[in-house]
């Protein structure tokens, strides 16, 4: 190794040594995760400066304006998180991307805590960085929605399940049940998380020790109590979230189903960078590879079985219901993977190799940050789908038209799914959002309330479905105002698009 390379890797060698030291490991990992969060937050703010927030993010905030234990499309935990976050931070893009980055950091912290229980020595550096090299733990979750929040929710639930199974205490079982319920309240996809825990526990040779302790019963009781109110909400909505999930992902032929399976299996590619780093750093032989993926030790087998159940059982449900599987649904499944693979006793890594992996993991977000202005420029030049360049501009125009009609605050805003959630985030009065194309998804405003409080309506003028709904809500006597919006970025104008706005003032 050249003197220059040794000099460059020296700080990372010290970091690897700190992570291997039980007395310094946690605070070192926390500091590295904090730096990782900061860099990816800055990346998000800069790279997305030429666009507005994704409408999925706006939808989460729209739910938070109607506190509930359930919603027509998804369970409520993402809305609760948004409500708490924006009670402290302003409604702004930078604050939303900070929430996204912090959620990634929380996930990585629990991944580290799991790994730290099983992985020793310089392999800990790989355990911390393995998922940092995956787009599933940086780029993808910057779009904060139910899928993104599943990543920290599953990681936390996994950590406390591992501890509950090992320690078998009443307290740890209760915490594990709480975390599993939170995952279920994030997205019902978490039924596979719970199934993985059940199968892993019952198939483990220590199952009778676990079942003879208070831990599993505390988990079931606490989880059921926390989740039970959502079942009431599901009944109130006539199980509409399940209908939404199946209808939105239904496939009518075998070919479409197989294509979706291929896409789902492609989720493994998100792990390619981390897996490659492990293989290059450790250079395992065939026997070691078998030990990594087919462990004999009870604790490691517990993690292997849970991970396998999470990944493979969705195929059964998809075949039974003829529903698609999506690549992004694999993202929360890997919290135990670094601990599982790197705790293999036969696997070894040198300090120099661990330092090299840490250096690569540090370089990856820094390169992305350096490239972020160019990324924002390219996105601006290529244009955006779903009107994502104009949400902020349209919000300003809607507010202008509303103020011209009334001095009352804007309490209701209606459009199609994308515009109502994207534009609604930027409206200063924080009105309730009404999806005028799919009103069953936003049932919190009936005609009486609209008549009392009024409503601002906006559609892309070229969208006939939205325009038809606008006409139905506004009626024939309400005038329409048309405006052409063009977003500029660094002095470069983007594509122009025409929007129609109708203001129905309050009747009071």
pLDDT higher than 70, residue 4: no
pLDDT tens figures, 85-115: 999 999 999 999 999 999 999 999 999 999 9
pLDDT at position 271: 95
Rounded Cα–Cα distance for residues 365 and 325 (Å):
29
Rounded Cα–Cα distance for residues 207 and 196 (Å):
14
Rounded Cα–Cα distance for residues 40 and 97 (Å):
9
pLDDT at position 258: 83
Crossing angle of helices 215-236 and 170-186, rounded to 10°? 20
Q: How many CA atoms lie within 13 A of 176 on its CB side?
A: 27
Q: Which two tokens stand for residue 290?
A: 């078998």
pLDDT tens figures, 223-273: 999 999 999 998 888 888 777 666 666 766 777 788 888 889 988 999 999
Q: Which two tokens stand for residue 284?
A: 């395992």
Q: Which two tokens stand for residue 211?
A: 């079942």
pLDDT at position 133: 96
pLDDT at position 320: 82
Is residue 208 a contact partner of residue 216, using CB atoms and an 8 Å limit? no
Q: What is the 3-state secondary structure (H, E, C) of 403-424?
A: HHHCCCCCCEEEECHHHHHHHH
Angle at alpha carbon of residue 343, lines to 338 and 345, rounded to 5°: 150
Q: Confidence band (pLDDT; 50, 70, 90) for 183?
A: very high
Of 130, 145, 141, 128, nearest in space to 102 by CA? 141
Q: Indicate the pTM of the whole model.
A: 0.95
How do 412-415 and 432-435 pair as beta strands? parallel
Average pLDDT over residues 48-65: 96
pLDDT tens figures, 213-234: 999 999 999 999 999 999 999 8
Mean pLDDT of the chain: 94
- Per DSSP, the residues of 290-334 read HHHHS--SHHHHHHHHHHHHHHHTHHHHHHHHTB---GGGGGGGG
The phi and psi torsions of 499 (rounded to 5 degrees) equal -125, 150
Of 333, 338, 309, 330, nearest in space to 267 by CA? 330
Q: Which residue has the higher pLDDT, 445 or 212?
A: 212
Rounded Cα–Cα distance for residues 175 and 177 (Å):
5
pLDDT at position 451: 87
Rg (the chain; Cα; Å): 25
Burial 238-270 (b: 16+ CB within 10 A, else e): eebbeebbeeebebeeeeebeebbebbeebeeb
88, containing H or E segment: helix 77-88
Burial, 223: exposed, middle or buried (Cβ in 10 Å; 0-12, 13-18, 19+)? buried
pLDDT higher than 70, residue 466: yes
| 3 state SS of 490 | coil
Is residue 100 a contact partner of residue 144, using CB atoms and an 8 Å limit? yes
Q: What is the 3-state secondary structure (H, E, C) of 141-209?
A: HHCCCHHHHHHHHHHHHHHHHHHHHHHCCHHHHHHHHHHHHHHHHHCHHHHHHHHHHHHHHHHCCCHHH
For residue 297, what are the CA distances in angstroms to 49, 57, 120, 484? 49, 42, 16, 65
| 3 state SS of 282 | helix
pLDDT higher than 90, residue 493: yes
Q: Which residue has the higher pLDDT, 37 or 7?
A: 37
pLDDT at position 248: 61
pLDDT tens figures, 294-339: 999 999 999 999 999 999 999 998 888 888 888 999 999 999 999 9
**What single DSSP character describes residue 388?**
T
Number of H helices, E strands in the chain: 23, 5
- Residue 480 β-bridge partners: 502
């Amino acid at each position: 190794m050249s003197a220059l390379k040794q000099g460059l890797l020296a700080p990372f060698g010290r970091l690897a040594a700190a992570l291997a030291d039980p007395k310094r490991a946690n605070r070192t990992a926390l500091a590295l995760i904090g730096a990782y969060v900061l860099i990816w937050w800055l990346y998000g703010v800069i790279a997305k400066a030429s666009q507005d927030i994704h409408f999925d993010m706006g939808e989460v905030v729209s739910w938070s304006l109607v506190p509930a234990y359930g919603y027509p499309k998804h369970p409520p935990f993402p809305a609760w998180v948004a409500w708490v976050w924006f009670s402290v931070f302003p409604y702004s893009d930078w604050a939303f991307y900070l929430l996204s980055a912090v959620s990634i950091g929380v996930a990585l912290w629990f991944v580290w805590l799991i790994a730290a229980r099983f992985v020793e020595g310089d392999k800990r550096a790989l355990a911390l960085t393995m998922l940092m090299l995956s787009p599933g733990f940086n780029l993808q979750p910057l779009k904060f929605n139910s899928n993104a929040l599943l990543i920290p929710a599953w990681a936390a639930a996994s950590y406390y399940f591992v501890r509950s199974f090992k320690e078998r205490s009443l307290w740890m079982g209760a915490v594990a049940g709480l975390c599993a319920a939170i995952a279920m309240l994030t997205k019902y996809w978490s039924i596979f998380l719970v199934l993985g825990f059940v199968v892993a526990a019952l198939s483990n040779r220590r199952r009778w020790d676990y079942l003879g302790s208070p831990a599993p019963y505390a988990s079931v009781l606490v989880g059921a109590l926390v989740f039970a109110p959502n079942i009431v909400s599901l009944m109130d909505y006539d199980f509409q979230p399940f209908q939404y999930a199946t209808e939105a992902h239904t496939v009518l032929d075998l070919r479409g189903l197989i294509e979706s399976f291929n896409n789902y299996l492609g989720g493994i590619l998100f792990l390619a960078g981390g897996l490659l780093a492990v293989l290059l750093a450790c250079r395992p032989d065939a026997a070691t590879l078998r030990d990594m993926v087919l462990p004999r030790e009870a604790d490691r087998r517990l993690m292997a079985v849970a991970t396998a159940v999470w990944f493979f059982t969705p195929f059964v449900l998809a075949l039974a219901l003829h529903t698609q599987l999506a690549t992004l649904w694999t993202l929360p499944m890997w919290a135990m993977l670094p601990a599982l693979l790197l705790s293999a006793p036969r696997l070894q890594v040198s300090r120099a190799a661990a330092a090299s992996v840490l250096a690569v993991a540090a370089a990856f977000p820094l390169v992305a940050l350096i490239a972020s202005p160019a990324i924002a420029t390219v996105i601006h030049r290529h244009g955006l789908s779903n009107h994502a360049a104009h949400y902020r501009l349209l919000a300003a125009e809607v507010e202008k038209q509303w103020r011209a009609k009334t001095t009352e605050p804007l309490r209701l805003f209606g459009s199609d799914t994308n515009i109502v959630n994207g534009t609604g985030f930027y409206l200063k009065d924080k009105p309730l959002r009404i999806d005028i194309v799919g009103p069953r998804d936003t049932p919190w405003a009936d005609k009486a309330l609209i008549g009392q409080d009024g409503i601002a309506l906006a559609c892309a003028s070229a969208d006939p479905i939205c325009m038809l709904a606008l006409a139905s809500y506004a009626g024939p006597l309400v005038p329409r105002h048309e405006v052409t919006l063009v977003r500029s970025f660094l002095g470069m104008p983007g594509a122009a698009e025409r929007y129609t706005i109708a203001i129905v003032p309050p009747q009071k």
